[in-house]
């Protein structure tokens, strides 16, 4: 029986509240695994295994797969769809509610995250893996098209935001493929995109990352205000200090946050703090 038939035979009721939109197309599932860069020596972590379509594709390629799922009612279906997947362990827990220690007790080696995420946990989950001490080498996730565009945006665009900079601070981001909403069941309202984040440890050599990210978050806090105004409000930094630093970097004193690529935020941070 294929996955679709197993889901039907088990009379499964999809839970919208858990973001349950499954993918069963084998070509797409294999392409996701390939895009995730998962090879035979790799450990894969999947968040939200659902009926196990992606899990089975990962299992066929990876050395070991850890799949996390909150919905215990999928247990019977997974026993059938993952039959024979000896290298796969399913953990019925919410990753966001696990401490780093609890997670590391399960996943002991560096790993690649590959997941078709419920959209409401997209950003908390991405930031959790980027900010924590968990050893994610890459994070390849299906997200809403708009979110993928925001995360990979260039400066001087309306999509460019504090989130773009925060993600770029930790990882290189690229959109691997656009995915039509018709590839999911039930069909969701919006189209998706497969986003790949390749983690680069200590990418910019910033010692106080919280302070740097507070600066970039402040830079976008009121988009119509100048960067100097926003930094004065957040840090009490005199406007003249920011304006002089901006001029040294070749920007007008009234520059706004969205005009600076992350490399110039780093230079600005070094000049101000």
70 lies in the site for ligand SAM, by CB under 6 A: yes
Residue 185 or 251 with smaller CB distance to ligand SAM = 185
User: What's phi and psi for 264, nearest 5 deg?
Assistant: -80, -30
Comparing CA positions, the residue from 39, 203, 44 lying closest to residue 111 is 44
- Tell me how far, at minimum, the Cβ of 81 lies from ligand SAM, in Å: 10
Q: Where does residue 118 fall: left (phi above 0), alpha (psi -120 to 50 degrees), or beta otherwise?
A: beta
Output the CA–CA distances (angstroms, integers) from residue 98 to 70, 75, 129, in the order listed. 12, 20, 12
Distance CA 143, CA 193 (A): 6
Question: How many residues belong to the chain?
Answer: 273
Neighbours of 71 (CB within 10 A): 16
Window 113 to 172, contacts with ligand SAM (CB under 6 A): 116, 118, 121
36 lies in the site for ligand SAM, by CB under 6 A: no
Distance CA 166, CA 187 (A): 31
- Tell me how far, at minimum, the Cβ of 74 lies from ligand SAM, in Å: 6
Residue 132 or 156 with smaller CB distance to ligand SAM = 132
Tokens representing 113 are 């995250």
Distance CA 272, CA 241 (A): 7
Q: Which of 38, 43, 47, 58 binds ligand SAM (CB under 6 A)?
A: 47
- Tell me how far, at minimum, the Cβ of 51 lies from ligand SAM, in Å: 6
Question: In this structure, are residues 67 and 115 in contact, taking their beta carbons and an 8 Å threshold?
Answer: no
Q: Checking DSSP bridges between strand 171-179 and strand 64-68, what pairing results, if any?
A: unpaired
219 lies in the site for ligand SAM, by CB under 6 A: no
22 lies in the site for ligand SAM, by CB under 6 A: yes
54 lies in the site for ligand SAM, by CB under 6 A: yes
Window 191 to 210, contacts with ligand SAM (CB under 6 A): none
- Tell me how far, at minimum, the Cβ of 72 lies from ligand SAM, in Å: 10
Residue 75 or 208 with smaller CB distance to ligand SAM = 75
266 lies in the site for ligand SAM, by CB under 6 A: no
Q: Which of 42, 48, 77, 176 binds ligand SAM (CB under 6 A)?
A: 48
Q: Which of 65, 95, 126, 215 binds ligand SAM (CB under 6 A)?
A: 95
* Helices (H), ranges, 107-238: 122-131, 145-151, 162-170, 209-219, 227-235
21 lies in the site for ligand SAM, by CB under 6 A: yes
Residue numbers at the binding site for ligand SAM (CB under 6 A): 18-23, 47-51, 53-54, 68-71, 94-96, 116, 118, 121
């Amino acid at each position: 029986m294929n996955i679709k038939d197993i889901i039907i035979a088990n009379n499964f009721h999809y839970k919208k509240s858990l973001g349950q939109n499954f993918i069963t197309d084998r070509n797409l599932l294999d392409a996701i695994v390939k895009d995730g860069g998962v090879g035979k020596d790799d450990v894969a972590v999947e968040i939200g295994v659902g009926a196990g379509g992606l899990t089975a594709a990962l299992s066929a390629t990876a050395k070991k797969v850890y799949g996390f799922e909150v919905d215990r009612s999928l247990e019977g279906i997974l026993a059938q769809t993952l039959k024979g997947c000896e290298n796969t362990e399913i953990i019925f827990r919410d990753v966001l509610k696990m401490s780093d220690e609890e997670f590391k007790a399960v996943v002991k080696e560096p790993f690649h995250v590959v997941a078709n995420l419920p959209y409401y946990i997209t950003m908390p989950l991405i930031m959790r893996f980027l900010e924590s001490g968990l050893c994610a080498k890459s994070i390849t996730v299906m997200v809403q098209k708009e979110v993928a565009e925001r995360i990979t945006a260039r400066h001087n665009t309306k999509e460019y935001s504090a989130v773009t900079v925060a993600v770029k601070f930790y990882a290189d981001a690229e959109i691997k493929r656009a995915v039509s909403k018709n590839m999911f069941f039930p069909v969701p309202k919006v189209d998706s995109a497969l986003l790949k984040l390749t983690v680069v440890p200590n990418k910019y050599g910033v010692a106080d990352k919280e302070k740097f990210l507070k600066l970039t978050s402040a830079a976008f806090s009121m988009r119509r205000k100048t960067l100097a105004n926003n930094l004065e409000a957040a840090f009490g930094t005199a406007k003249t200090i920011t304006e002089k630093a901006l001029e040294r970097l070749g920007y007008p004193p009234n520059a706004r946050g969205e005009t600076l690529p992350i490399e110039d935020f780093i230079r600005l941070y070094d000049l101000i703090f």
